Structure 1
Amino acid sequence: MRGKRAKKYRKLMHQYEIQFSFREPYQVLLDSAILQETAQKKIDLVGRLKGVLGGEVKPMITQCDMRHLYNAKPKDEQLILQAKTYERRRCGHHELEEPLSSLECISQCVDPKGSGTNKHRYVVATQDPKIRAALRKIPGVPLVYVSKSVVILEPMAQATEEQREREERAKFKMGLKGRRGGADANQKRKRDDEDEGAQEHGTESIAAESGGDARPQKKKRVKGPKGPNPLSVRKPKKRQADGPREGEAVKPKPAKTNETRQPDENATAASAAEGEELGKRKRKRKHKPKGDGGAAPEEDADTS
């Protein structure tokens, strides 16, 4: 079996599993026509069914179809022995003188009450096109047949597709009702209230024991403009007390030239000269009188 067809069959059986609760081993209801076809073409029917359905199978045959194999001309003893190894589906028609046709027998086995449901979740493998046409009207019946030595699984019938869509819409509506406040939402709200009540009771008991209010205060969230990401903001550089900032170039001090030094030296020399002149004082020297002439004494200049 090719990969694309096998993938298609896996998806199809997965849909039957989800919507109609099919499970392994799949109960495959066989009719006498498909057994004769596979025996004539030497096809391992059970092995092919495992590959097509993607799992273990349980082949079954009705009592009426078993009687059809006995009444077939020419009679195939080997095929009868092979059919005896399959599980016998008791259709309740064994008391009749003549067996019912495969169409009537299989239709009654699949839908015994005529309610339009595949109660026992049968997969029907038949070579009769009339049987397949009748079973397409019943939702959830996978149909298998043989075409040119190839075992084929039919796609979903229109009745099956319509029921699947109805169930999907019903699930969607139930989900919307639950969101609006259905039974599940009420139960969840009730559980939350019970949890809050138990938590408050525990805090009150702790407060009574400690003599104070032990309720945790919720921190108020201040709404406002959000700042920049702190990881993307550049950190400010610290200024050094004794030296320049990091990355700042050290400026050299300007050197003193002779022109700037000369007025300073002249100023100091002038100030020193003024100090010496202030420190010098003129003084008069008085001489003693000589003789009786009464001449006035001469003033000698102070030579210093």
Structure 2
Amino acid sequence: MRVRRQRRHRKAVRFYTACFGFRQPFRVLCDGTFVHHLVVNKIAPPDKALSDILSASVKLFTTRCVLNELRRLGGSHAHSLNAAKDLMIARCDHEGKMKADGCISEIIGENNPEHFFVATQDTDLRRKLLEIPGVPAIYGLRNALFLEQPSTTQRQFVKTSEEGRLHMTELERKMLKKRTTNILGAKMSEDSSDEQEDSGEQNLESSALTKPQAVNKILGVKDKVQFKRKKAKGPNPLSCLKKKAHENSKPSSEKEKKDGDGTVRSRGRKRKRSRKGKISSDVGAG
């Protein structure tokens, strides 16, 4: 049960944080009835108890009107008055002459600019505050503290605000239309003056520019992508060169040299023959 209650409290805190800009440390405005409840049920320290249900650090406030109301109640609320004096004082211009509920309602106003969590045991005051957007209410039950869930009015306010931010208002629509017309007219007049000066060098593409295309050009909107058609290319000139004929190297003995009219065939080294045998044969015959 306690875990489920803490989960509901965290969910409500996220709602006020995301939708109304509540930030830590949370500011809690306490009236006399809530301070008296803390004292009677011995819930101490109060800042620790409130930080537990909000899962964040807190600062506790009260008003001079609340202190004067506790003072008028006499000795039965003397301990509650001493406990309230330890809290920080929220500024109000009533000088302690107004009732506590009226003072708190005036501080909260129509949209709770100070982002207060209001802690009170007054059921009528809680019901009244929950009808105001962005006002979370805290109350006590015996020795436990509870955070009121966001009311239907507060949730509807958030939903309406979100829808309003998503759509363009009529004033914004008129301003955008007027601005677009002015820019388009200035661009058209500038183009016409350029055409008169450079009538001999008109570009066919700019002269055929339509009004929607001009608007897109002014607003920086690109037209459809135009793909370039690839042209046929010729063969690689390096691949068309004739191959060089490689001459076969022949032995030096088979080369022919041209000299004048005839050809002289180069020959190799001559073999020397021995003449000894021939000489001996001639001598024997003689």
For the superposition of Structure 1 and Structure 2, which TM-score range results when normalised by the shorter chain?
0.5 to 0.7
Q: In proportion to residue count, which structure has more helix?
A: 2
Distance 1:70 1:76 in 2: 7
Output one character per residue of 1:153-199: Cα deviation in whole Å (capped at 9) or x when no partner. Answer: 1111122111111122224436xxxxxxx99xx9xx999959x9xxx
State whether structure 2 residue 142 is matched by structure 1 residue 148. yes
Asked if the contact 1:41/1:149 (under 8 Å) is kept, the reply is yes
**1:6 matches 2:11:** no
1:211 maps to which residue? none
Structure 2 counterpart of 1:52, one-letter code? I
**Structure 1 letter corresponding to 2:101:** L
Task: Tell me if 1:29 matches 2:23.
Answer: no
Q: With CA pairs under 8 Å and 6+ residues apart, which has the higher RCO, 1 or 2?
A: 2
CA distance in structure 2 between the partners assigned to 1:159 and 1:17 by the alignment: 17
Determine if contact 1:69/1:75 at 8 Å carries over to the other structure: no
User: Partner of 2:247 in structure 1?
Assistant: none
Supply the distance in 1 between the matched residues of 2:75 and 2:149 (Cα, whole angstroms). 35
Matches within 5 A, 1:245-260: none
Residue of structure 1 in register with 2:75 after alignment: 74
CA RMSD of aligned residues (A): 3.1
Q: Which residue in 2 is equivalent to 1:132?
A: 126
Q: TM-score, normalised by structure 1?
A: 0.53
Task: Report the CA distance between 1:72 and its aligned residue.
Answer: 2.1
Report the CA distance between 1:50 and its aligned residue: 0.5
1:119 is matched with: 113
2:157 is aligned to 163
1:259 corresponds in structure 2 to: none
Paired positions, count: 184
Aligned AA (1:137): E
Q: Residue type matched to 2:94 in 1?
A: H
Question: What TM-score comes out, normalization by structure 2 length?
Answer: 0.57
Paired position in structure 1 for 2:99: 101
Separation in structure 2 between the aligned mates of residue 23 and residue 191 of structure 1, nearest angstrom: 43
CA distance in structure 2 between the aligned counterparts of 1:130 and 1:219, rounded to whole angstroms = 75
The answer on whether the counterparts of 1:27 and 1:57 sit within 8 Å (CA) in structure 2 is: yes
Distance 2:24 2:51 in 1: 10
Q: Distance in 2 between matches of 1:51 and 1:168?
A: 31
Contact map agreement 1:135 1:141 (CA 8 A) in 2: yes
Residue pair 2:41, 2:142 contacting (<8 A) in 1 also: no
State the partner residue of 1:46.
47
Q: Partners of 1:62 and 1:55 in 2: how far apart?
A: 23
What is the CA deviation profile of residues 33-63 of structure 1, one whole-angstrom value per residue up to 9, with x for unaligned ones? 1111110110123212101112111100010
Alpha-carbon contact 1:39-1:79 (below 8 Å) kept:
yes
Which protein has the larger Cα radius of gyration, Structure 1 or Structure 2? Answer: 1
The CA distance in 2 between the partners of 1:28 and 1:63, in whole Å, is 15
Structure 1 alignment gaps of length 5 or more:
175-181, 197-217, 222-304
